[in-house]
Amino acid sequence: MEGALHPMRLKQLLHFAAFPKLNKTHFIFRNTRSFSTTRCASPSSSPTVAGARNRRPSSSQTSTSDREAIRAIRIKKVEELRSKGLDAYAYTWKRTHAANQLQEIYMDLGNGEEAACESDRVSIAGRIVARRAFGKLAFLTLRDDSGTIQLYCEKEKLLSDQFEHLKTLVDIGDILGAEGSIKRTEKGELSVCVTSFSILTKSLLPLPDKYHGLTDIDKRYRQRYVDMIANPEVADVFRKRAKIISEIRKTVESAGFIEVETPVLQGAAGGAEARPFITYHNSLGQDLYLRIATELHLKRMLVGGFEKVYEIGRIFRNEGLSTRHNPEFTTIEMYEAYTDYESMMNMAEEIVTRSALAVNGKLIIDYQGVEISLERPWRRETMHNLVKEATGIDFAMFEDLTAAKEVALEMLNAGGDNQNKSSIEACPSVGHVLNEVFELVVEPKLLQPTFVLDYPLEVSPLAKPHRRHAGLTERFELFVCGREMANAFSELTDPLDQRERLEDQVRQHKKKNASLVSEDKNKKVDGDDDAYDVNLDEDFLTALEYGMPPASGMGIGIDRLVMLLTNSASIRDVIAFPVLKTPQV
Amino acid sequence: MAEKVSAKPKGQAKKHAAAEKHAAAEEEGLDPTQYFENRIRALASQKETGGNPYPHKFEVQLSIPEYVKKYESLNSEDRLEDVEVKLAGRIMNKRASSAKLLFYDLHGGGAKVQIMTDASKSELKGEDFSRFHSSVKRGDIVGIVGYPGKTKRGELSIYPKTFVVLSHCLHMMPRQKAGPRGGAENTKTTDVWIPGSARNPDAYILKDQETRYRQRYLDLMLNMEVREIFRTRSRIISYIRHFLDEREFLEVETPMMNMIAGGAAARPFVTHHNELNLKLFMRIAPELYLKELVVGGLDRVYEIGKQFRNEGIDLTHNPEFTTCEFYMAFADYNDLMRLTEDMLSGMVRELTGGYIIKYHANGLDQDPIEIDFTPPFRRIDMIEELERMANLNIPKDLSSEETNKYLVDACAKFGIKCPPPQTTTRLLDKLVGHFLEETCVNPAFIINHPEIMSPLAKWHRSKPGLTERFELFINKHELCNAYTELNDPVVQRQRFADQLKDRQSGDDEAMALDETFCTALEYGLPPTGGWGLGIDRFTMLLTDSQNIKEVLLFPAMKPQDDPSNRESNKKTQDGPLPQEFEKKATVT
């Protein structure tokens, strides 16, 4: 690597690396238009000359070989620091303040004023994200966890040759610790007037200049840390995520719920209908499934005598990726003995509104241009009524499956929708038809928070039959912005009924598998078949036979809630390291 | 509180025992299948007559602990007939005094209260009353509307007007077998177990470990203490979270499915994503991702979550286990030792009321030992102390052939076995286990590990060849592992390369290179202290558990139909903990 670059080219290159083009994302800060570049390296470590070629002047991305060159130069700087007895990778740094704390404390300091008492001596640390150097003066912008502050570096005020070091050895991207007094510049920028500093960590790679560009969307997720350095608001999403989860915990714990941990690796994956991940335990010599829900184990806790339990944890589903789906995602599931789904509706309202207030301070929020009001109470309407309202069809009238399908298909035809015909035709019951029509026609329209009540029994294998309406269950789903946010029911406690329903589910699943297999034969689809096995969780059924108290339970998709409350378009924006389509090289 | 509820005057107990025998006798004759079928039939006939054996809702006013708290100060024979209370819970005992007078024990929320059911006070009259109550079985979940009072003998009770079965126990509930400890199944320790005190699982109503772990709900129903174990677990996690939140740490979630299983040395679980046709590993540690977030500018992060290791199951290992890892920018391992002392001693004090806990370190048949969490904890410089204790003079260049040979000889001299490959790392590990870890009963930090043992830790600022790392040992087990993080990417790559050498010489526990992580370091990781705690193991200490299965609600179990497993399981449970265990399994 050493000595492969022409000094002129190097200088230019560092320029690009160190001062990315300004763009509409907030990468570089105010007042950075006129700056001089730093010298690339001290004479002693200057690489020797080699052939030069023209650089693309407006490249938005540093090419690999350039990165390697910069890396080599910076490794030289590390060596140089060491040769001077300085450490390029310090052990620790005592901070007195975070940047934002200083901004607050000295809010009233006037332009041009200094605060130079003993008590105004501060020590801060963070990453250098911008720099301007003049003859005997340099301005650096330092960013830490809390925000940014300017470092005002005057040659006279710095010890011995520190100013030289600042110019020759410090690059944008380095992590610095600095001490000094406080002043506000004439231009109004609060600054630490640096008397001494040390390089805490030397960065070897240049910060990228543009990470919100379309071409880099994959890289943003893949190298989340770079995304966060380049776009501080990205980190805010994760701060809010933490706050939301913390608020959910507070809400349920103040209601007396206790947190438990149930297994991720299971002998049978139950509690939902989804393709599980399969793994193999060597010493047990046994296939294990990754959980697709926490439901069946949490219900065992109710059998065991815990009356209010919850678990916030990771769920795994072996399904495709989308803006709403990641193979692993986080949910809260909660179960409360001696209550029914009515009380879970109140709990859902409580959880969502408290989370919204915690991160946004208000209940009117904007989601991707749609104004959403989370003011309580939220609309509560049955699925039958919502479908009737949207289509004019009252599915409660139908006893006969064929008749129900005919009407549904007619309605779709009238709307010019031919795509979803097959999904209606595949429905094995009136309940399925109703649910299908609901999903196609009503769901996307449920923008404001709505509880959809009383799902058909056929699509709700773990919910208790409705106490008044045959064929329905005491179940609700919460929709906001056309998306399912929560799913809850009065839990089915009758072990015989439960066994029948699960057996029925297994039968239906097998039937579907069989038809897929025959389809596969016809189509000769390449790759994995879509079939997977569903097994009865006998242990769960046995637990029910010991008696589970009447109870209600609810699951909330935390990633989707975070998306809603942080106005994020994709689930990838709220998961720090999402799974991506193209494998990493 | 529990003393008042559960301690029964002797005379009454005798009478109850007699009645109980009678009630039990009518069922004991049945085999479990017959019993189950009878109950199914009873449910079916109830459904046929239009009844709903599983009511949707019973409005509960007070939990049983709240009820006990509210009315325990009543005097004997006080009856508040004007007060209406609604309670629900599980019937764990039924005693018929006569056809018109029955006693039940109603359990819920970790407490119990007696139901004194008198035909004259019931809504049901005559035959209906007897018929109904003969259908109520031990294990059923019931709702009671009645008034509070105390019996002549001072037992807090509820006197029902309405008595509804909400859910049915279709199986015969296990009973305590009559034995030398006395047959009455209600024999219970009168004190509520508190964290940090000793437990005695031998006195449990349900003793069989297989049943306890496989059907945890039975364990929870029958052995009141078990509930407290899991409440303690929850409180430990909650304390840690609170402790870190207070210090402005941010809780984050990193992937459990990885392209490379990094951050530790262990055999991972492998799985497959169908649509992406992608091989994925279950994480063995969150370390590398968490450090990437610190690179990204989140200065203080933590994650409490599951890790997965595809290893054997024993007293201290379960394939999935819970850890807390935190990373703190601008802190070093000295700061973290102080933080560890604050966190753990503070937690022990909050949960147990003091710094000293009792633990059956040498098996249940020996007296429990005391473990003292009073800070500060002892600090043991690994190599220095090892040389002193074993009278060794280990060559300074730890990576040399010479050292390796020296240590092989040392192990031979002390009769310490080190199965191949005999890498210097493994030899040192055995020696440290033998000489140092054995001395760590009260919490103690073993510090300054050699570089070759610690590929992710930073070289020591003043001791060549060593790192700034500590492990916290309590009761001879590793609980925490922490270090000043190695943030020099060039050195990090070199360390990974050295690990590769160990791998090639047959140590499959050596770490693999994670290129993504090394690149992240090149963007600059601030000076950072990183820390990991094995939560299951800490919970074991505070709950006097010698088997990790005691603190996991649903531990991984060996396949069921193998009687040899049962035996070996029991044997190890009672014996002392193995002298040695693999360190890697706790954290990072």
pLDDT digits (tens, 9 = 90+) for A546-556: 999 999 999 99
Residue A136 and residue A156 in contact, taking contact as beta carbons nearer than 8 Å: yes
Q: How far apart are CA A385 and CA A453, in angstroms?
A: 9
Q: Cα A564 to the chain's mean position, in Å?
A: 11
**A543:B489 CB<8 A:** no
CB contact under 8 A, A490 and B522: no
How is residue A117 written in tokens? 């008492």
Nearest-angstrom CA–CA distance, A391 and A433: 13
Statement: residue A40 has pLDDT above 60: no
Minimum mean pLDDT range among A153-157, A356-360, A415-419, B484-488 = A415-419
pLDDT, residue A103, reads 94
The minimal CB distance from B220 to the residues A225, A304, A313 is found for A304
Q: What is the mean pLDDT of residues B364-370?
A: 94
More reliable by pLDDT, B49 or B143: B143
Residue A267's closest chain B neighbor by CA? Answer: B556
Task: Concatenate the DSSP letters of all residues of B13-62 into one string.
Answer: HHHHHHHHHHHHHHHHTS-HHHHHHHHHHHHHHHHHTT--SS-S-----S
CA distance A272 to A135: 68
**Among residues B221, B201, B199, B198, which one has the least CA distance to residue B209?**
B201
Pairwise CB contact (< 8 Å): B527 & A321:
no
At B497 the pLDDT is 85
Q: Is A260 on the interface with B (CB under 8 A)?
A: yes
Q: How far apart are CA B432 and CA B455, in angstroms?
A: 18
Question: What pLDDT, on the 0 to 100 scale, is given for residue A5?
Answer: 37
Summarize the confidence of residues A124-138 as an average pLDDT.
92
Quote the longest CA-to-CA distance of chain A.
92
Q: Quote the pLDDT of residue A536.
A: 86
Q: How confident is the model at residue B284 (pLDDT cuts 50, 70, 90)?
A: very high
Assign B352 to helix, strand or coil: helix
Tokens at residue A329, please? 């995602």
Specify which of B299-303, B554-558, B570-574 reaches the highest per-range mean pLDDT.
B299-303
Average pLDDT over residues B34-46: 92
Most confidently modeled range among A36-45, A520-529, B16-25, B345-354: B345-354
Q: Could you give the 3-state DSSP secondary structure of residue A462?
A: coil
Q: What is the rounded distance in angstroms from the CA atom of residue A42 to the CA atom of residue A84?
A: 13
Least confident of A26-35, B48-57, B87-96, B373-382: A26-35
| Secondary structure string (H, E, C) spanning B360-371 | CCCCCCCCCEEE
pLDDT at B581 over 90: no
Q: In what order do the strands lie in the sheet with B300-308?
A: B250-251, B300-308, B320-329, B528-534, B477-484, B469-474, B444-447, B378-381
Q: How confident is the model at residue A524 (pLDDT cuts 50, 70, 90)?
A: very low
CA distance B170 to A543: 10
What is the predicted pLDDT for the residue at B468?
97
pLDDT computed for residue B507 by the predictor: 65
Q: List the one residue out of B41, B54, B29 whose CA is nearest residue B172.
A: B29
Residue position matching structure tokens 């039959």: A465
Identify whether the C-beta of residue B456 lies closer than 8 Å to the C-beta of residue B483.
yes
* Token code pair at residue B284: 């063995």
Type of residue at A103: Q
Is B458 part of the contact surface with chain A (CB cutoff 8 Å)? yes
Confidence (pLDDT) at A520: 55
pLDDT computed for residue A517 by the predictor: 67
| Predicted pLDDT of residue A511 | 84
Tens digits of per-residue pLDDT, B49-63?
888 999 999 999 999
Instruction: Say yes or no: B276 contacts chain A, CB-CB below 8 A.
Output: yes
Verify whether the Cβ–Cβ distance A581 to B556 is below 8 Å. Answer: no
Residues A405-411, mean pLDDT to the nearest whole number: 90
Q: Please state the rounded mean pLDDT for residues B371-375.
A: 98
CA distance B7 to B188: 8
Does the pLDDT of residue A563 top 50, yes or no?
A: yes
Lowest-pLDDT choice from A118-132, A301-315, B239-253: A118-132
Instruction: Please provide the average confidence, as pLDDT, over all residues in chain B.
Output: 87
CA distance B280 to B353: 45
Task: State which amino acid sits at residue A260.
Answer: V
Measured between alpha carbons, how far is B263 from B511 in angstroms, rounded to an integer?
A: 8
pLDDT at A584 over 90: no
Whole-model pTM: value is 0.87
Residue A139 confidence (pLDDT): 95
CA of A142: which chain B residue's CA is closest? Answer: B297
Question: What does the pLDDT average to over B471-486?
Answer: 96
Work out the minimum CA distance from A232 to partner chain B, whole angstroms: 8
Location of structure tokens 């199951």: B313
Are A495 and A503 in contact, with CB atoms under 8 Å apart? no
Beta bridge partners of B329: B528
Closest CA in chain B for residue A204: B522
Burial of B372 (0-12, 13-18, 19+ CB in 10 A): middle
**Mean pLDDT for chain A overall:** 85
Reported as type and span, the H/E element at residue A13 is helix A7-18
pLDDT of residue A27: 34
pLDDT for B13 equals: 47
pLDDT exceeds cutoff 80 at A39? no
DSSP state of B511: P
Other beta carbons within 10 Å of B555: 20
Are B293 and A576 a contacting pair at CB < 8 A?
A: yes
DSSP symbols for B371-439: EE-PSSPEEEEHHHHHHHHHT----S-TTSHHHHHHHHHHHHHHT---PSP--HHHHHHHHHHHHTGGG
| pLDDT band for position A159 (cuts 50, 70, 90) | confident
CB neighbours (10 Å) of residue A515? 12
Whether B357 contacts B542, CB under 8 Å: yes
pLDDT band at A582 (very low <50, low <70, confident <90, very high): low
3-state secondary structure A244-302: HHHHHHHHHHHCCCEECCCCCEECCCCCCCCCCCEEEECCCCEEEEECCCCHHHHHHHH
Cβ(B325)–Cβ(B333) below 8 Å: no
| CA atoms B431, B436, B441, B447: torsion sign | negative
Which pLDDT belongs to residue A51?
A: 37
Note whether A464 contacts B54, CB cutoff 8 Å. Answer: yes
pLDDT-derived band at B508 (thresholds 50, 70, 90) equals low
CA atoms within 13 A on the CB side of A225: 28
Query: What percent of chain B lies above the pLDDT cut of 90?
Result: 71
Distances (CA, A) of B386 to A411, B392, B396: 82, 7, 14
Question: pLDDT digits over A171-211, tens only?
Answer: 999 999 999 999 999 999 999 999 999 999 999 998 876 54
Nearest CA in chain B to A474: B56
State the pLDDT confidence band at B567, using cuts at 50, 70 and 90: very low
* Residue B6 pLDDT level (bands cut at 50, 70, 90): very low
Do A262 and B167 lie within an 8 Å CB cutoff? Answer: no
Tally C-beta pairs within 8 A across A and B: 321
Alpha-helical regions (H) of B247-354 = 287-295, 333-352
Q: Say if residue A345's pLDDT is above 90.
A: yes
Q: What token pair was written down for A441?
A: 């026609």
Name the helix (H) or strand (E) containing A167. helix A162-169
Half-sphere exposure of residue A583, counting CA atoms within 13 Å on the CB side?
11
- Structure-model confidence comparison of residues A365 and A26, the more confident one: A365
Q: What is the dihedral of CA A25, A30, A36, A37, to 10 degrees?
A: -40
Question: Residue A464: which pLDDT band, with cuts at 50, 70 and 90?
Answer: very high
Average pLDDT in the B372-388 region?
97
- Strands (DSSP E) contained in A121-237 are 122-133, 137-143, 148-154, 175-184, 190-201
C-alpha dist (Å) from residue B231 to B171, B208, B212, B343: 27, 22, 17, 19
The answer to whether the beta carbons of residues A141 and A128 sit under 8 Å apart is yes
pLDDT at B282 over 90: yes
Per-residue pLDDT at B183:
38
Q: Does residue B500 surpass a pLDDT of 90?
A: no
The least confident of A429-433, A547-551, B547-551 is: A429-433
Could you say which of B167, B295, B298 has the minimum Cβ distance to residue A493? B167
| Residue of B414, B407, B412, B416 whose CA lies nearest to B452 | B407
Interface contact B273-A318, CB threshold 8 A: yes
Give SS3 for B496.
Answer: helix
- Cβ-Cβ contacts under 8 Å, A464 against chain B: 54, 56
Indicate the pLDDT class of residue A119, thresholds 50, 70 and 90: confident
